[in-house]
Structure 1
Amino acid sequence: METHIIYIATVFLLAGMVKGATGMGLPTVAMGLLGLVMAPMEAAALLVVPSLLTNGWQVLSGRPLYPLWLRLRGMMTGICLGTLAGGTLLLQAQGGGRVLGLALVLYGLLGLGERTWAVPERWEPWLAPLAGAATGLMTAATGVFVLPAVPYLQALRLDKDELVQAMGLSFTVSTLALAVVLAAHDAWQPAAAGASFLAQLPALAGLLLGQRLRGRLQPQVFRRCLFITLLLVGVHLVLADA
């Protein structure tokens, strides 16, 4: 049991560092590593409090939120509806980690290839809800919130700090929607809630370390770190689910 606790704490410390440095990756890294020792539903239940707290910190430590919320509210609505609609997928998911891993590997390789995308402003009213709904379905199937939310947000051509804040907002909404799904399926029990609250401590410590590292990164280095993180996590998920 003690070894189990040390492993969980180490996972959340590492996941927090990745998130602090790149603005994302806590649920992805944590789900991939926790999936080696527990069922996906148990891992997702552990994620709720650390993910909510670190993402809330990420959102509130940036610029004024309201203008960003106005721009992304269609996406946030889509995330909620997609997650709730796909609520049974996390219970039934088989091979979900491999699917997510392959998608992350592909996206990481494309990003490292230096090709960039841009979403025209006139497309945002209809594309944002679609990107949100697809992200919600992926959240319900795998317990992580990366795709296609991150590619969409990057295509908006936000600067580094805006991108980090926008990802934090997207992940916060995804976490809340996932928590509702878990509670509806009786996966948010007192024991899971207590363990999730404890897991926030190493996650916050890792977040602070990662933020200090991010402050020293140039934009191009930051971008490469983001895609390398996605690629490595994707490879891990593919191998772990093989």
Structure 2
Amino acid sequence: MHAFFRHLPRALAACVLALALLVLAAGVRAADGPMELAGIRLGATVDALAGKLVSPVVDRSPQRPSIGVVAVAPLPGYRSGYVDVGLCAKPGRIVRIKMNYADDSLAFFNKLMTALKQRYGEPREWRGNAFGTLRTWKWGLRAANGEPVSLILMHYEGEDGAFTDGNSIRIAATSMVREEELCRAAEKKASGAGGSAHLAVDAEALGLDWFLPH
């Protein structure tokens, strides 16, 4: 190989080498996006996984009325977890899985981060804060069946109840989530409930103090 490059003009040799590296890189790609976490598979039904869930009863999420929430039964190595399931397009279909690890240390988070980078490549998005209390990385992937999958790894150590303490991981079939949202929106429109129930009031007339906690 070295003898081959010695007999080529420098510019041509550089081009040939670059092409060879591109071919090698193309043969090494990240793994397909994940569809399963903790033995639970995206797209599966609540009934099919009843033994892995605390209860088949579905509670509607107040933030996402098209989605229901079911807790995951206790599993080794995990503190807790839940699945989001569709309530409209395909009732009972699992569209999102979130698991909270028993080990809440930053060292464990770093190990997970390293392993995920090796498997799926560099994440697409950073959602942490400047204080270091929230570290969130997001991958936008595609499963072997073509399904777009969102993967989020998070570490949090603070006092904001909006975030889960410790280490957590979440995968979501984004097209399935969207399908449920569109179905719910169509239902609301058909029933005439699509309009906003909030009163149109001038915020300045209310005064800023109205919007602050007391």
The two structures have a TM-score, normalised by structure 1, of 0.22
Higher relative contact order (CA 8 A, sep 6+): 1
- Which of 1 and 2 has greater Rg? 2
The two structures have a TM-score, normalised by structure 2, of 0.23
Which one has the bigger strand percentage? 2
Which one has the bigger helix percentage? 1
